[in-house]
Structure 1
Amino acid sequence: MGRRDQPPQRTKPWSLMTVRTPAGAPRRALLLPSWLPVDGYVLALLGTVGLAALLPASGTAADIAEGTTTGAVALLFFLYGARLSTREALDGLRHWRFHLTVLGSTFLVFPLLGLAARGLVPTVLTPQLYTGLLFLCLVPSTIQSSIAFTSIARGNVPAAICAGSFSSLAGILLTPLLAGLLLGDSGGGLSADGLLRIVLQLLVPFLAGQFLRRWIGGFVVRHKKVLGHVDRGSILLVVYTAFSQGMVAGIWHLVTPARLGLLLAVEAVLLAAMLALTWYGAGRLGFGRADRIAIQFAGSKKSLAAGLPMASVLFGPEAALAVLPLMLFHQMQLMVCAVIAKRRANDPEQGEAAEPGAPLPEQRGTPPAPAPVGRITPTTAPR
């Protein structure tokens, strides 16, 4: 029977496929059904928000949840420090033009667009939602999902890995400093008490993880899957505690469905602007196609995993409204960038060589095989 006569295959609603991690190791990953537009981890986050709305922690339970969240945030940043290879990041310094472009997009262009949105208050955004939108513009870029999208689009994966490491390192210091400078009295200002919390909950655990990496790095790599569940579970705890505090304080009457729709529209414009600026701006700066892809995905995305714990430290009881724009933007960037990555993968110019100044695969080991064109799996979603 000829190929044309073969009956069409039925698409399974759930399927397994083999993907490769940034280290190049194959693993089996569960894919969400193609018709489901929401990432699995975002569904878990929404479920956590619903749980906090129905059963918010109060009284003694709230005190326990807050104390546990403090420990969970410290654990998160300890694990970030233990995972992040500072040597690999420093090795990429010779490609300074590429990394300055990504860092400039993340910590300069994004905040400037956030400040420009101040004119939308109060007609479009409430002051509380604007504070959350501005905080969204200050958090570092993602690591895993930027790498995955760059791989799908046949971009410069080694450069994306290095850019994610730089952004995470810079965000530990720049995000709190920018929040203190730009948010002022909006709830995320950098008071002496807030600075102490940042040092104790974020910086000290991160530096401890970096210091102990030479001894525990192998353990972290071998148990990456289990520790990934610890990461995501800790973030869910942060979300539950923040939204519980919001419910108890009665702040949700400030968010109407109309305001929520306007917030989504503003974030759509913000994402579109950053995607266009990173793609065409990188082209004007003379970067090749492979580097432009990496710059677009690394420079236009924001990290949910880094932003949520930082918000819990910076905003305290007011973190619920502060993280809402970040959670919505996270889901939006996954959906939009998945479509862009698929189209870039089919681009007839995909064979274009990377810019001579870009990191070459042989300089950093064998790069991961391009991920299959499809949904990003839930394991990459939080970052």
Structure 2
Amino acid sequence: MKRPAWLPDNLVLLLIATVALATLLPVHGQGVAALDVLTEAAVALLFFLQGSKLSRRAVWEGLLHWRLHALVFAATFVLFPLLGLALRPWLEPLVGPTLYLGVLFICALPSTVQSSIAFTSLARGNVAAAMCSASTSNILGMALTPLLMAGLGRWVGASAGSGATQLSWHTFEGIVYTLLLPFVAGQVLQRWTGPWVAAHKSWVRVSDQSTILLIVYGAFSAATVQGLYRHLPPATLLALLGICALLLAIVMPLLTVLSRALGFSREDEIAIVFCGSKKTLASGVPMAQILFAGQAVGLLVLPLMVFHQLQLMVCASVARRYARGPQIGVAATG
């Protein structure tokens, strides 16, 4: 029996349990340093495994479909940030400067990989293009997300105060050594590590999810110790849910209209809608750990956690609707 779309997925249930654990039993003292070392190693392993399982051939072939990718990248790295800025007069008063910066962080993040491909496949869309677009979005996001957050942070810096993201050599060093180099190493060693990763998909999935849970535990532990949640009323959480719903309600229909207006096939439209409207939790939480070091990371990733669950439920419903419809046209290739 399949899980209903409105129920949280297993990862979200584990995230909720992790947040509860961090709230009741936060890490203290010397345990913080040990947790930081363990988390950094886990993040490096996560990106090494991503590099090991990402097919270079699929990336190269998918890159030929440049019109589709251009639209997805424009939605991911242009439309979302512009929406975050344009809606600031209404969003920031609802949730405050820190959570609003977390919303901007959502807007600056790349697309998901696994769930974008899974939903595109379920909806009978262009899976190859979705694989390339989402994967390339994640790779580019390693550089574009810090740059976007630097620009967005300066733009809202007057009211966000310490929440504004400042680029520094230490920030780039963290991105390069913790995220980029492990990914490149995975690509270089893919000939040897790729078959093992392909044969142990369940282990890799557990490893990826465990890394996310480890980071979330550390972030929310720090937030609990600092007493941040005493200032987070239920009304703010409801407002945050409404904001995430608003972003999806704007982007998904807009991408559908643009795909049809630009003459994309139904299969390409499906890939565009799912890849262009979704944001990555797997890469977003590790990036937040680096970009917002020394800040209220627990609160800053809270909008992303809410958005993640909402996008899964919405996309599951949309994918089933696409799957029930007629499969018209052939995916374009350039």
Superposition deviation, residue 253 in structure 1: 2.5
In structure 2, do the counterparts of structure 1 residues 154 and 162 end up closer, same or farther at CA, with 3 Å as the change threshold? same
Q: Distance in 2 between matches of 1:255 and 1:192?
A: 33
Q: Distance in 2 between matches of 1:287 and 1:94?
A: 15
Q: Distance in 2 between matches of 1:254 and 1:84?
A: 42
In structure 2, do the counterparts of structure 1 residues 55 and 187 end up closer, same or farther at CA, with 3 Å as the change threshold? farther
Q: Distance in 1 between matches of 2:321 and 2:92?
A: 38
1:261-280 per-position Cα deviation (integer Å, ceiling 9, x unaligned):
11111111111101011111
Superposition deviation, residue 43 in structure 1: 0.4
Q: Distance in 2 between matches of 1:72 and 1:356?
A: 39
- What corresponds to 2:181 in structure 1? 204
- TM-score w.r.t. the length of structure 1 is 0.81
SS in 1 for 2:15: helix
SS in 2 for 1:123: helix
Amino acid at match of 1:79: L
- What corresponds to 1:156 in structure 2? 126
Contact 1:52 1:240 in 2 (8 A): yes
Query: Which aligned pairs between 1:1-383 and structure 2 lie closer than 5 A?
Result: 15=1, 31-32=2-3, 34=4, 37-120=7-90, 122-184=92-154, 186-317=163-294, 318-347=296-325, 350-357=326-333
Q: Distance in 2 between matches of 1:322 and 1:123?
A: 16
Amino acid at match of 1:238: I
Superposition deviation, residue 139 in structure 1: 1.1
1:112-139 per-position Cα deviation (integer Å, ceiling 9, x unaligned):
1111122135421200001100001111
In structure 2, do the counterparts of structure 1 residues 351 and 169 end up closer, same or farther at CA, with 3 Å as the change threshold? same
SS in 1 for 2:330: coil
Superposition deviation, residue 99 in structure 1: 0.9
For structure 1, which segment, 235-244 or 213-222, has the greater mean C-alpha deviation from structure 2 after superposition? Answer: 213-222
Contact 1:181 1:190 in 2 (8 A): no
* Number of residue pairs matched by the alignment: 326
Amino acid at match of 1:202: L
Contact 2:171 2:290 in 1 (8 A): yes
Superposition deviation, residue 36 in structure 1: 6.1
In structure 2, do the counterparts of structure 1 residues 35 and 175 end up closer, same or farther at CA, with 3 Å as the change threshold? closer
Higher helix share: 2
Amino acid at match of 1:343: R
- TM-score w.r.t. the length of structure 2 is 0.93
Q: Distance in 1 between matches of 2:266 and 2:28?
A: 53
Contact 2:47 2:183 in 1 (8 A): yes
In structure 2, do the counterparts of structure 1 residues 132 and 259 end up closer, same or farther at CA, with 3 Å as the change threshold? same
Gaps of 5+ in 2: 158-162
Q: Distance in 2 between matches of 1:166 and 1:113?
A: 22
Amino acid at match of 1:320: G
In structure 2, do the counterparts of structure 1 residues 302 and 257 end up closer, same or farther at CA, with 3 Å as the change threshold? same
Gaps of 5+ in 1: 1-14, 16-30, 359-383
In angstroms, what is the RMSD of aligned CA positions? 1.6
Amino acid at match of 1:357: T
In structure 2, do the counterparts of structure 1 residues 54 and 88 end up closer, same or farther at CA, with 3 Å as the change threshold? same
SS in 2 for 1:316: coil
Superposition deviation, residue 287 in structure 1: 0.6
Rg (Cα) greater in structure: 1
In structure 2, do the counterparts of structure 1 residues 65 and 119 end up closer, same or farther at CA, with 3 Å as the change threshold? same
Contact 1:150 1:156 in 2 (8 A): yes
Q: Distance in 2 between matches of 1:262 and 1:58?
A: 31
Amino acid at match of 1:326: L
- Percent of aligned positions that are identical: 48
Q: Distance in 1 between matches of 2:117 and 2:5?
A: 24
1:300-336 per-position Cα deviation (integer Å, ceiling 9, x unaligned):
0011101011111111242111110000000001111
Superposition deviation, residue 156 in structure 1: 1.5
Contact 2:23 2:220 in 1 (8 A): yes
